[in-house]
Structure 1
């Protein structure tokens, strides 16, 4: 064993203090410096190539995806109102009256009658002249909706057909009650224009070609389904001239409008012939280049199309339920009158105004509404000779909401919603009525001296209430009358009347 000398121990101490970089005795300093220089050059190179020996870096952890951005694993639960509970408290009549009476007042002349009932039990919660016959205006369409849904059924569709004519080279366009025809292609997702004349023409050309028909084709029109006067004598000439209504036929374009986007102003006075001429034009276009030509002009068939005549083509309307909803939403007079006549035909009555009024009266009675004091001279509510009570309207709305005949539920989607849709879309916007926005669902009625509102609402306690308020003899144009109706309905929506 060699014992270190004193000089070696000194070098060891210095070497440990300096990290082993002190040169040993006998080694030249310039060699040590060269070695350090080479080491400084080598370190960066080592760092560059080292990853190749280590392999790829571990991937960075994925960021956490928020729950609302992750792919769903199941269908979401729709956020809807909870089912109504029969245990919800029924409002106290005196408390309801205390809310409604102060706001249901006429602006100027005239008076309001009204009725509020509990929908489930029928208990009367408010009654101001509720059994008094009143001019109902377009609230009458609620009764027509009942008749159409009961006699025709919610799923029924009206067919517009083309059949073989009485002579070779003739075809007959047969109206079947669809007055919402479109001039172009059928639009299955729409109510207006669900059945299109361009589609009907294309089907007709296909059938004629398959039968080997060529040459000139003459179009005839059969609109014999409706009978009696096409214009009700109870309608004021000013309303007809203003386009509130038009002569009734069992087929029409756009509910007897020139343009479906323009729901006011003049209307065709022969809507059936206008539709037939549009069909002939589409048939001419569809037949071009196929050996078929179409004679100019359309003639009315001398009688109804022969029973058993071969059907060449047909297109179907939207369902009765969908048409009823449209009728109520926009208060379409022409569509309402058509529905009344089609309901009459379904019961074996004539497709006339008399047949329609008789059918509507009979069907509301069959639905459980006492028809006493009901007087109908039309079925759209345009005439001033109609008489219906507020009680009868609340009974009709009760039948729709909670009655045993579930076919009537189909009408509920057609009720305009306060501040949101249909004829109530621009109402319920001020501080006194905004509490009813989105909650009040009701059919409106408007004539020069008449305003009405009948519908339903769920009150603050979760109780379903039905109501009808009717103003007659009102001052024309007085702004406060619509507000009075809306305030009364809003009071019911906010009612915790116990």
Structure 2
């Protein structure tokens, strides 16, 4: 449950958030020329019905930090990172957003497990290659017999039965009921006897390399190209147990809605007549959701969708290829980087602190600048709602993606100093033994010290 903030904190946070959003508006306006309108944007093999996001907002304030003094961070960060809670391998990179100048680095080129900070990479790749308006299709075509239809999975894991489900309304797209209504209308109201489920678009293992089997129980689900509510058994709980075969669960639900008595696996015939198609929410909304809430399954689904678009294959290997190529294309040094998934759930993923900050600087001037408005706000939203306690210098001025695995913690994002300079940063710690809570407190204290720095 989101806590109620004291009035002073609420007002300060609101003002700081408005300032950061003004910067995002400026960045979005600068990058808008690269964003194709939805009529030209890819949506599988189909055309989506409406545009997202709306027209680029007009800037209301000058970009933060353009004339603010550049801080000298050596002393403040040397002291902060000497905290005994950083008892593992800790790397850090702090960079001036306006100039790209490195202000501080500690082991910046050392590859470490990033945990969920990895979601920043997936968000950028999706926004760069799919675009914010892209929607994932789920299609039904005529089956091999007159009394059958084929449900063709396209990669959407946010489907619902009837419009109500786990994901926030803005991240929810179509429902199976809508799809069933379209199919029945195409068939003149005649229910099919059999629904065939075609999942051939996904051609890989149900989990990425390195992801523990136990994580498929609640932290994510066995990957499949169609799911209801991310495969959750209880669609009101983030870490609900997951269905062992979420694709078949979706197919059975659809069969019930169209009145079919049987469900079987199958493959759509080439050129089969389309009976109905529905779409996910736009990629921009999906990115908002998985960056803010750190949803592993949704992140991986979007990463695989990006791989399908760019490489023509919905596989973990294709995803890794796209991630590496995206970084290289944006001028990021990808030496030593390893991607086994898009969510960071695999402890064998590797990123560097300097790669994160290079990526954030590049994203600010590219089609993926929308990432910045998706980052959780310190003490206010997403996975930072209950972080930065009593750190009023950070409230609203630090926006960052969190990352947590056993012995792994990270924080990657942007902050504005007390003098108004906007920085991007990444801090990663591997092999710590002090416990997640204490390590997160140390990460938060470090970011707060920089935000408060008039140095």
Shared fold per TM-score greater than 0.5: yes
Partner residue of 1:254? 229
Mapping for residues 356-367 of structure 1, pairs under 5 Å? 356-367=319-330
SS at 1:252 equivalent: strand
Partner residue of 1:374? 337
Separation (CA, whole Å) in 2 of partners of 1:280 and 1:376? 37
CA gap of 1:462–1:280, structure 2 versus 1, over 3 A, is same
Partner residue of 1:190? 169
Report if the CA contact (8 A) 1:116-1:126 is conserved.
yes
Report if the CA contact (8 A) 1:163-1:173 is conserved.
yes
Partner residue of 2:74? 97
CA gap of 1:426–1:92, structure 2 versus 1, over 3 A, is closer
Separation (CA, whole Å) in 1 of partners of 2:377 and 2:86? 27
Separation (CA, whole Å) in 1 of partners of 2:132 and 2:270? 27
Separation (CA, whole Å) in 2 of partners of 1:250 and 1:378? 15
C-alpha displacement of 1:476: 5.5
Report if the CA contact (8 A) 1:116-1:124 is conserved.
yes
Partner residue of 1:224? 200
SS at 2:435 equivalent: coil
Partner residue of 2:381? 421
1:158 aligns with 2:136: yes
Partner residue of 1:482? 440
Report if the CA contact (8 A) 2:388-2:394 is conserved.
yes
C-alpha displacement of 1:246: 1.7
Separation (CA, whole Å) in 1 of partners of 2:332 and 2:294? 22
Root-mean-square deviation (Å): 2.1
Separation (CA, whole Å) in 2 of partners of 1:390 and 1:376? 15
C-alpha displacement of 1:216: 4.6
Deviations 1:305-347 (A, max 9, x none): 1222111111111101110111111111111111121111111
C-alpha displacement of 1:262: 0.6
C-alpha displacement of 1:381: 0.7
C-alpha displacement of 1:233: 3.7
SS at 2:231 equivalent: coil
SS at 1:255 equivalent: helix
Separation (CA, whole Å) in 2 of partners of 1:274 and 1:171? 17
Mapping for residues 66-77 of structure 1, pairs under 5 Å? none
Partner residue of 2:6? none
CA gap of 1:120–1:206, structure 2 versus 1, over 3 A, is same
Report if the CA contact (8 A) 2:234-2:240 is conserved.
no
Question: 5+ unaligned residues in a row in structure 1: which ranges?
Answer: 1-78, 285-293
CA gap of 1:266–1:185, structure 2 versus 1, over 3 A, is closer
Mapping for residues 171-190 of structure 1, pairs under 5 Å? 171-185=149-163, 190=169
C-alpha displacement of 1:85: 5.2
Mapping for residues 394-409 of structure 1, pairs under 5 Å? 394-401=357-364, 403=365, 405=366, 407-409=367-369
SS at 2:284 equivalent: helix
Report if the CA contact (8 A) 1:219-1:299 is conserved.
yes
Partner residue of 1:389? 352
Between 373-382 and 448-457, report the one with greater CA deviation.
373-382
CA gap of 1:87–1:419, structure 2 versus 1, over 3 A, is closer
SS at 2:361 equivalent: helix
SS at 1:280 equivalent: helix
C-alpha displacement of 1:269: 1.4
Give runs of ≥4 in structure 1 deviating > 6 Å: 186-189
TM-score under structure 1 length normalisation: 0.76
Separation (CA, whole Å) in 2 of partners of 1:194 and 1:186? 10
1:460 aligns with 2:392: no
Report if the CA contact (8 A) 1:90-1:118 is conserved.
no
1:200 aligns with 2:179: yes
CA gap of 1:478–1:85, structure 2 versus 1, over 3 A, is closer
Larger radius of gyration: 1
Separation (CA, whole Å) in 2 of partners of 1:364 and 1:332? 22
Equivalent residue pairs, number: 397
From 58, 62, 78, give the equivalent of 1:83. 62
From 211, 221, 234, give the equivalent of 1:235. 211
Partner residue of 1:245? 220
Question: 5+ unaligned residues in a row in structure 2: which ranges?
Answer: 1-17, 23-60
